[in-house]
Amino acid sequence: MEEIKKTKKEPKRMSKEQVEKKKKTIIKVFITIVAIILLAFVALIANDYIILDNNKKTNLVINNRNVTSNLKNDIIIENNVIYLSKSDIANFFDKYIYDEKESNQIVTTYDKKIATIGFEKNSITINGSEKNIYAHAIQKGEVEYLPISEMKDVYDIEIENIEESMVITMDSLDKEQKRAIVSSNIPVKSSTNIIARTVDRIQKGESVIVVSSDKGKTKVRTENGKLGYVKTDKLENEYIVREAMEEEKQIEGKVNLIWDYFSKYASAPERNGTNIEGVNVVSPAFFYLDEKGNFKENIGNKGQAYIAWAHANGYKVWPMVSNAEAATESLAITSDIMNHYEKRQKLIENIVNVCVKYELDGINIDFENMKQEDKNMFSRFIIELTPRLKEIGLVTSVDVTAPDGGETWSMCFDRHVIGDVADYIVFMAYDEYGVSSTKPGTTAGYDWVKLSLHKFLQTEEIEAHKIILAIPFYTRVWTTDNEGKTTSKTVAMKNIDKVIPDGTEKQWDDTLKQNYVEYIEDGNKKQIWIEDRDSLKAKLSLIKENDLAGVGSWQKGMETDDVWGMLKEELGL
């Protein structure tokens, strides 16, 4: 047999390029390992020993948020009094803070309080009551400052000046506060990242304020006022120090308001023994400004019986306050009141007093025919009225017209501010073609109502849950004579069919979502855009579609009987 020889296989030699590549790979691995070790070491040091966050100036923490970087001016501390600039208070507490030039005071409102403070006297007036304090407003150059540490009752806050850490904390008393006990000595980190600077150190047994928790980390505020993160499992015995205070709404679900109008020469209607299906708010014409601008009431025994009837049926009573008498005499009367702080306050005091006297549930401000240049001052009136009513648990509702219109009818309202401040803004979605129109047209076409409502929501940026859509229980009969002159008269819904001649054909307009009739009478052309159950139902669909607060109806006594069940059904009451 042939002998088989075994040979040893020679190893394959690497090229020079391959050798260099392998060296680079080894170096990269080595550098990565060293970097990981260094990172771990730095993390260990940062976690246990290094504190980098020493304040260089006083920090301000409001409701567990460090707002120091948002301050427009420095905080001033003099004689243990903490001062914030007016612009910073506007930023954090009251965007409507106001310089009252006549009396050289600053007027500020917050939730249920309106306060005035001057620059000389150590006193403050809160909701009409004056109290002594240890400071007053001051001016540094061009900047006005308020002694916020003396105004805790105004803004409903508690304040602590932690001098050691140069932190001032301010906490709203209506917000929930939770605390927990630290189970071991731990650092407080600036973020939840692996490497983060230490902002404070806390010892076993110390208490911290719990801000929020997520994925094993809890944001806390230490006794030094520092905000940062700790491991959630290092906290124990969490407890609530203060419950959140939630404001109860008067009306659960949608508002269904009806205006009950009667003139100053008449008395409140007799409603005993009756019930209005689905209604939960009534607004009788109890209060008005007379031709001299004086606040007047028209209640009497019949009005008190009306209030008793409403409450017995479970209705809230938000009476109207109207300037109709003053407005018809002169625009100057309402203007004079709006432009003087003392006169606004006198009117507000009168409103508050009658609300308490007659145990009312709210007010409906129905001011019309005002100067365009008084728009901001009317807003001031609402800004100053609302906290006074809130203090006693009452609702402020304000009637406004559509955004586009005349100077004294439409341009006199700042709808955004009113909608922001008041509990409800009531869009009077009627008189698209009103009594002063020289051209015939609908009282409230669906397309116009929808477009105007879009402006309330989008252009004016009013929250939907504050908007009450007001609908008409009336229409107008338009008459155009042979010379082309047009006039109109108001007709209640319930009387429309009595006005239209027998045999007149109604035509449905799907754009306006109304029936329309046209006929000749005594040689004159008659036109009616009819408000009925169908036209109102179409407008009511906008409430559900946009999740509005509810409906208001003008006025009781003009309706047909079939509207009440429809309103109740459409509103889900």
What integer pLDDT is reported at residue 5 of this predicted model?
Answer: 45
Asked if residue 133 has pLDDT above 60, the reply is: yes
Kindly tell me the sign of the dihedral angle through the C-alpha atoms of 203, 209, 215, 217.
negative
3-state helix, strand, coil in the chain (%, to 5): 30, 30, 40
Helices (H), 330-483: 331-338, 341-357, 375-391, 415-421, 446-454
What integer pLDDT is reported at residue 46 of this predicted model?
Answer: 46
Asked if residue 564 has pLDDT above 60, the reply is: yes
What integer pLDDT is reported at residue 176 of this predicted model?
Answer: 97
Phi-psi region of 278 (alpha: psi -120 to 50; beta: other; left: phi over 0): left
Residue 268 CA to residue 301 CA, distance in Å, equals 9
H helix count then E strand count, the chain = 13, 35
Tell me, what amino acid is at 51?
Answer: I
In the chain, pLDDT over 70 holds for what percent of residues? 91
pLDDT tens profile 503-544: 999 999 999 999 999 999 999 999 999 999 999 999 999 999
Asked if residue 92 has pLDDT above 90, the reply is: yes
Going by pLDDT thresholds of 50, 70 and 90, the confidence category of residue 238 is very high
- Residue found under tokens 């929020």: 212
pLDDT tens profile 432-477: 999 999 999 999 999 999 999 999 999 999 999 999 999 999 999 9
Q: What backbone torsions phi and psi does residue 479 show, to the nearest 5 degrees?
A: -120, 125
What integer pLDDT is reported at residue 1 of this predicted model?
Answer: 40
Q: Residue 28 CB: number of other CB atoms within 10 A?
A: 10
Cβ atoms of residues 471 and 514 within 8 Å: no
Mean predicted lDDT score pLDDT of the chain: 93
C-alpha 541: how far from its chain's center?
24
In the chain, pLDDT over 90 holds for what percent of residues? 88
| Six token digits for residue 52 | 């980098």
pLDDT tens profile 350-363: 999 999 999 999 99
Report, as an integer, the average pLDDT of 406-430: 97
pLDDT tens profile 363-381: 999 999 999 999 999 999 9
Going by pLDDT thresholds of 50, 70 and 90, the confidence category of residue 48 is very low
Bigger pLDDT: 280 or 34?
280
| Six token digits for residue 471 | 């609908």
Report, as an integer, the average pLDDT of 326-355: 94
Domains located in the chain, CATH noted: 59-160 (3.30.457.10), 176-242 (2.30.30.40), 255-571 (3.20.20.80)
What integer pLDDT is reported at residue 411 of this predicted model?
Answer: 97
Report, as an integer, the average pLDDT of 386-404: 97
